[in-house]
Amino acid sequence: MRGQAINDLFAFLAVAREKSFTRAAAQLGVSQSALSHAMRSLETRLGVRLLTRTTRRVAPTEAGDRLLQSIGPKFEEIQSELTALNALREKPGGTIRITAAQHATEAVLWPKIAKLLPKYPDLKVEIMPTHGNIYAWEFEKGSKELKVRVDGQLVFNRMSQIIEGALAGFGFAYVPEDAAAPQVAKGRLVRVLEDWCAPFPGYHLYYPSRRQNAPAFALLVEALRYKA
């Protein structure tokens, strides 16, 4: 099988599992247009429709689901074997891809990774942004929980821009306390709905348990692990 065909099958697995071209493109580190072109080329070569596309979601067709179930485990087996070979290196190396929001990246990931990478020059970490719908504001007071989808003139995907919008008087900003603390200390912002803002429990790292983890990944997990 030619290399491009293998790449297209790998891309198909990402789209079929994520059910989104946006999330799959972010996971693979390619543009949505390139990913869409790859899927059309794969469907043309196979002569069968693999994905149904709407404006809101992507889902495998019957043929696509059959392909997913047949090749998915095989690709995972190959990945596991490559991971096992990587364990024979004197020093852990390879690429680790993490999808995370801006605050998690700046407050948790980067401080740990900055200390880890100089010790392991063959280790490469790629942090990609989280893509999806507009985030709902979450509030909690006692046993009551609320999720509010707000609407306004401005929609941002960076926390610094959200804070700047609040400073300019365009409305409320829903951000982690530590991000707004400098402006609150200066009196430029005021905290509201404090009794509805429960303490943030912290971030969690999710990864497939069925795969054999590389030594490099184990190093990163240990570096990020919360220590009281």
Residue intervals in the chain for CATH 1.10.10.10: 3-84
- Confidence band of 109 (pLDDT split at 50, 70, 90): confident
Q: Global pTM?
A: 0.47
Average confidence score pLDDT of the chain: 83
What pLDDT is attached to residue 211?
60
Of 185 and 227, the one with more pLDDT: 185
pLDDT tens column, 125-182: 877 765 556 678 888 888 888 888 887 767 777 788 889 889 988 889 999 899 999 9
Contacts of residue 22, Cβ cutoff 8 Å, sequence gap at least 6: 32, 131, 132
CATH code of the domain occupying 3-84: 1.10.10.10
Percent of the residues in the chain that have a pLDDT greater than 90, as a whole number:
21
